[in-house]
Amino acid sequence: MIHLFRNSGFDIVLDVNSAAVHLVDEMTARVLRILLDRKDTYGSEELAEPELAREVAEELDQDPELIAEILGELSELTAVGRLFSKDPYEALVPKVMDNKTVVKALCLNIAHDCNLACRYCFAEEGEYHGRRGLMSAETGKKALDFLVRASGSRRNLEVDFFGGEPLLAFDAIKEIVAYGRELEKKHDKLFRFTMTTNGVLLNREVEEFANREMANVVLSLDGRKEVNDRMRPFRGGQGSYDLIVPKLQSMARARDGKQYYLRGTFTSQNLDFVKDIEHFYDLGFRELSMEPVVTDDPQFMITEDNIAQIKDEYDRLVQLMREKKDAGDPFRFFHFMIDLDGGPCVYKRMSGCGAGTEYLAVTPWGELYPCHQFVGQEEFLLGNVEDGITNDEVSRRFKSVNLYTKDACRSCFAKFCCGGGCMANAYQSSGRIDGDYEIGCELERKRVECAIALKAFGSEEG
Amino acid sequence: MKHIKTLNDKTLNMTVKKGGCGECQTSCQSACKTSCTVGNQECENKKR
């Protein structure tokens, strides 16, 4: 399968199964369009047939020698498995399924409580379909013990402090992290702690702690003051922007090269979200993420009618990134990052996010759920930190989902970039964890095209 | 080639043999939490 597209003036071909990316000239793009109108795939020898060159040349009203030369190059790439390559991976599915499940990452919902009342919050301002509460240090330590037990020989372990607002339980976080450092030595593990915070409680002490202990800090802000304050007010209704922006700026500066992301959410109310990304930039942030909202609230949800505008915004974002790079002060956008020569192996790309298998969420009371977005939905309760996973049926269901169990993925050019997409989004949209969330897929495809186009610019620069 | 420029050297099928160690970061732990972006994660397989 190949995907031919045009972005930012480039004609680009992604060979889906090999992940090879080719920049082609305009005439080659025209030849490929004719070929793809006829059928989806070609063999190397077929492309080298003089008769094909004659037919295509006639259709394009071009010199047959030129078309034969182009088809010769396409044939050459096909012969070495970088164009029209076959999918050799489906045969690996049983191997993936048979692998022993090990847990390597926990989302510690350390606070089911929040000091903001964001209007789109899937965690219901921290309550997660349940009651408010903070995780005790003791439960957090048990969660780390569980992770060490369940991780087998896996060395790199990840623990994200999430909420609600995790800094409501800062004392517990400090104790849990200290305990993690002890466990590292005892069990030859490496804990990567991360934190996602709304910034309200950031101060010098938190900054110092985060810079010492946190591999990544995710800072939440939605953009321009009016956008942020409409969506991220305090419980009393007043906006959070004025209080949190200086704190977030200080935290980002303090990271001094260590990883952080400034992460926003856009809704149907700010479909011009590149202005918000530009605002992040103007505030001094350079590591940026902006996510489409996950909600079924008709006031804010992204609908099919919004897709064309969002795609245009992503194109605008590509241009903005180019402008800033050309001016010598670039920024990064999480969803446009792609490593064409490295990146994860095909096993990871087939099995996706790992929710319910290698990635679990823990409630303040020590219950285990497949991921933070399923927390509080009783039918997905997996077990708890003391007894481990006791609901094998739910675990099996999550493990069974992969690229090859989702029909929509089979024909999608972006499948090896999203790994089948977010199961929580699929469930919310279709009622099935292996269902489809077509809007999400459409946006992911656009982001992949933009990410590749940015690489094309890079190659032009040599 | 005159008409085509390939941007990458490695192909995905090269990862079949040495892949699957699982030491890489879980995608949702980075900066998304509401979608899935696997392709931008780094490989952490020391033997690859």
Contact B7, A455 (CB under 8 A): yes
Mean pLDDT of A330-352: 89
pLDDT at A276 over 90: yes
Contact A421, A440 (CB under 8 A): yes
Measured CB to CB, residues of chain B less than 8 Å from chain A are 1-13, 15-16, 18-45, 48
**pLDDT score of A360:** 96
**pLDDT score of B46:** 67
At residue A98 the predicted structure's pLDDT band, cuts being 50, 70 and 90, is confident
**pLDDT score of A237:** 94
Contact A149, A102 (CB under 8 A): no
**How do the residues of chain A divide into helix, strand and coil, expressed in percent and rounded to 5?**
50, 20, 35
Q: Does A94 touch chain B (CB under 8 A)?
A: no
pLDDT at A173 over 90: yes
Which residues of A, range 400-419, sit inside 8 Å of B by Cβ? 416-419
Alpha-carbon gap, residue A135 to A124, rounded angstroms = 17
pLDDT at A138 over 80: yes
* pLDDT tens, residue by residue, A39-49: 999 999 999 99
pLDDT above 90: percentage of residues in chain A = 87
Nearest CB to A359 within list B12, B28, B45: B28
Give CA separation, A144 vs A140, A147, A190, A448, B29, in Å: 6, 5, 12, 35, 16
A353:B1 CB<8 A:
no
**pLDDT score of A341:** 86
A338:B31 CB<8 A:
no
Lowest mean pLDDT among A255-259, A356-360, A398-402, B19-23: B19-23
List alpha helices for A214-282, DSSP H.
225-231, 241-255, 274-282
Give CA separation, A149 vs A279, A294, A367, A385, in Å: 44, 33, 16, 10
